Amino acid sequence: MTLLQDIKNAKHVVIEFDIEYLASASALYTYILQLHKKVSLLCIEEIDNRFSFLPWFQKIKTSGYSSADLKLKLNISAVDLYKLFEENSIKLNQKMATSFYAGLLVETDGFKNSSVDGMTFAMAKQLVDAKAEYKVCTKLILNTKSLAYLRLKSLMLKNMLLKENATIVTMSISDDDLTASGSKLDDAYEILQDGLTLPHIEEAILIKKDNKEILKRIKKEYS
């Protein structure tokens, strides 16, 4: 059965999701409420407060719901869920549109990665037309960084090196750096992306300080 059909047949739906599917979970929660069903959000991971503007953020719990008759392990991107809604003629309200726009920003790295095409901008326009709070999304997702993130970035920039005629940038971190800054490894991966914005850089590499293990390697993408 399809995701939407399973939801229609249920009385109480629990949406369990990982952080990367937060926007999808928010949009789906809104849809299920419109069906006049009981719905709950479950995420055991800590979520960055810059996403606290999303609809229903305060409804997210970290423990299970034993009474639910449908427990969804959500693993669909905001773009794909939007397409599913569109295929089933589900009309978007402002909360859905805002959730989808936030997901679109995250999944396209602010409309900068290689997945962006004409369909991406067509989707963005439709979401804006549906009253998505796109200015809030842009400000809080793309421009707001936590103190922990900024502390880690400072440490990583101090250890930054250019190699191979300044075509490769390397950054290094340790477990102590993450602990001292209060940040996460995902923050380090995001900071590594900034290395690709330097002139002539073709590749960015994140290295573990103690054993020189390569934690992440990314190359500049060209359309």
- Provide the phi-psi class of 193: left if phi over 0, else alpha when psi is between -120 and 50, else beta: alpha
- CA 180-186-190 angle, to 5 degrees, is 105
User: What pLDDT was estimated at residue 47?
Assistant: 85
Instruction: For residues 167 and 153, state if they share a domain.
Output: yes
Provide the domain count of the chain.
Answer: 2
User: What pLDDT was estimated at residue 41?
Assistant: 96
Q: What is the pLDDT of residues 85-103, one digit of tens each?
A: 999 999 999 999 999 999 9
Instruction: For residues 134 and 86, state if they share a domain.
Output: yes
Q: Which residues contact 166 (CB under 8 A, 6 or more apart)?
A: 199, 200, 201
Instruction: For residues 177 and 110, state if they share a domain.
Output: no
Instruction: For residues 81 and 25, state if they share a domain.
Output: yes
User: What pLDDT was estimated at residue 174?
Assistant: 94
User: What pLDDT was estimated at residue 150?
Assistant: 86
How far is it, in rounded angstroms, from Cα 4 to Cα 84? Answer: 9
User: What pLDDT was estimated at residue 220?
Assistant: 83
User: What pLDDT was estimated at residue 222?
Assistant: 63
Instruction: For residues 120 and 18, state if they share a domain.
Output: yes
Identify the segments of the chain with pLDDT beneath 50.
1
User: What pLDDT was estimated at residue 124?
Assistant: 97
Q: Which residues contact 165 (CB under 8 A, 6 or more apart)?
A: 200
Instruction: For residues 67 and 39, state if they share a domain.
Output: yes
User: What pLDDT was estimated at residue 144?
Assistant: 66
Task: Find, among 108, 117, 100, 84, the residue nearest to 5 by Cα.
Answer: 84
Instruction: For residues 124 and 47, state if they share a domain.
Output: yes
List the domain range (segments joined by +) for residue 100: 3-142
Task: Find, among 120, 102, 123, 98, the residue nearest to 111 by Cα.
Answer: 120
Instruction: For residues 213 and 137, state if they share a domain.
Output: no
Q: Which of 110, 127, 142 is the last residue of a domain?
A: 142
CATH number of the domain where residue 79 is located: 3.90.1640.10
Instruction: For residues 25 and 134, state if they share a domain.
Output: yes
- Provide the phi-psi class of 110: left if phi over 0, else alpha when psi is between -120 and 50, else beta: left
Instruction: For residues 109 and 190, state if they share a domain.
Output: no
Q: Which of 142, 174, 200 is the last residue of a domain?
A: 142
Q: What is the pTM of this model?
A: 0.71
User: What pLDDT was estimated at residue 179?
Assistant: 92
User: What pLDDT was estimated at residue 66?
Assistant: 73
Instruction: For residues 115 and 155, state if they share a domain.
Output: no
Contact 61, 37 (CB under 8 A): no
Instruction: Give the pairing of strands 203-208 and 168-173.
Output: parallel
Give the type of residue at 48: D
Instruction: For residues 103 and 153, state if they share a domain.
Output: no
